[in-house]
Amino acid sequence: MALALLVCCCSCSDGLLSSERRQQTVVYAEDGRREYYQATDPLVQERFARSSVALIANRYIEAHTSQLSALTPNWSVKADVCPGEVFADQPAPAFCSGVLVDWDLILTAGHCVRLFALADFSIAFGYYYAEPGKLALDSGDLVRPIEIVSEALDPEGVEPRRDFAWLRLERPVSARFRPVPFHSKVPLLRENDPVITIGAPGGVPLKFDGSGTVARVRAQGDFFIAATDTSSGWSGGAAYDADLVLTGILSRGAFDLIDSREGCRVTVHTPVAAEQFSYGAQALPALCEKEPGRAICASDCGDICQAAPEVEAARDAKQDLAAAGGCALARGAPHPLAAFVWFLVGVGAVHRNARRRRRALRQSSGSARFVCGEAPARGWGVLSPQQDK
């Protein structure tokens, strides 16, 4: 069946490479995919609204309104999914997903950046349903990628096997978005550890799956295998641990659709875990080799790092963005640059706009769940559970 599906999809010609069409959704046990407005954990909603992105071809975006074009196909049309399948009637313009790791950097899968030229797609924040039928996508949510800072796409059989890409944005994002905390070193995962993922299944608006679990950890430390309800379009989407710290991104997985008797395709339900997630920590050295001055590349950033909320103050003070953009979240002393930035904010009090800057900084810092020098400690209850994705 897998071979038949591959042959069929490789013959499809909608202008996309075959890797976008080869699979859509595979479900392990009960379908765990949910909308933003169905999340009861506010931190899950924050990851949606402030850090998760979709990669959307520009041909599906209205140039003047920054909304989806009327020509955007729904998932049923795009992948010949049966009408009764969940999400079948939702628009499906996305071809991959990603996550904001620094103020001007998106981490996604390496095979995603081979699908379109940089000039032909946009990075979309707000690509989720804020309420039933209402996309949060707004004009300020679209950002152009301008450079692939670093990438890797290793073929099968290469050890270790990597699949990542760092995309530089045309500008740093505003304070209403937030880079995620991430494991800067490969974390110690165990079988049955929870995995929380966010991505765009089949290209429809972002969903999250809180029912995933780790199935197998490889000794090579390049990727782990999990049982998650993920799919094509979800490629590059974030995988978090129980504390909502970024662990990896989706790279590959099982074939997802099979032909039904009605002549359309339905979701595969299987007990065999096969979704492969590349560790984010495996992508970090390639970035730091190209841009060693980034604070998230600093040796004292700890096992858990995050681009610092103080970056807004640094930007106002015209300091270097990369150098002021990170702090350690592991136990220990705060990053020294954070203290320096706070000093700059205090000095700025004599200027006419100091009040505005302090107010913006308080609001930005107040929404962060982690503090430099303090490890995250929280539980997360699960909701209910080879090829490029």
Mean per-residue pLDDT over the chain, rounded: 76
C-beta separation of 311 from 355 below 8 A: no
Of 93-97, 215-219, 272-276, least confident by mean pLDDT is: 272-276
361-374 confidence digits (pLDDT tens): 333 333 322 222 23
**CA triplet 295, 361, 140: central angle to 5 degrees?**
85
212-233 confidence digits (pLDDT tens): 999 999 999 999 999 888 878 8
What DSSP letter does each residue of 101-167 carry, written as one string? EETTEEEE-GGGGGSS-GGGEEEESS-SEEETTEE---GGGEE-EEEEEEEEEPPTT-SS--EEEEE
- Rounded CA gap, 45 and 51, in Å? 10
pLDDT of residue 354: 37
Residue written as token pair 């009960």 = 30
Domains of the chain and CATH, by start: 18-282+381-388 (2.40.10.120), 288-366 (no CATH)
- Rounded CA gap, 112 and 148, in Å? 11
Residue written as token pair 């520009």 = 58
C-beta separation of 51 from 97 below 8 A: no
Q: Helix, strand or coil for residue 20?
A: helix
173-209 confidence digits (pLDDT tens): 998 999 999 999 999 999 999 999 999 999 999 999 9
Which one, of 121, 107, 102, 127, lies nearest residue 277 by Cα? 107
Token code pair at residue 188: 């110690």
pTM: 0.75
C-beta separation of 125 from 143 below 8 A: yes
Greater model confidence, 40 or 22? 40
106-116 confidence digits (pLDDT tens): 999 999 999 99
- Sheet of 265-269, strand order: 26-27, 265-269, 257-259
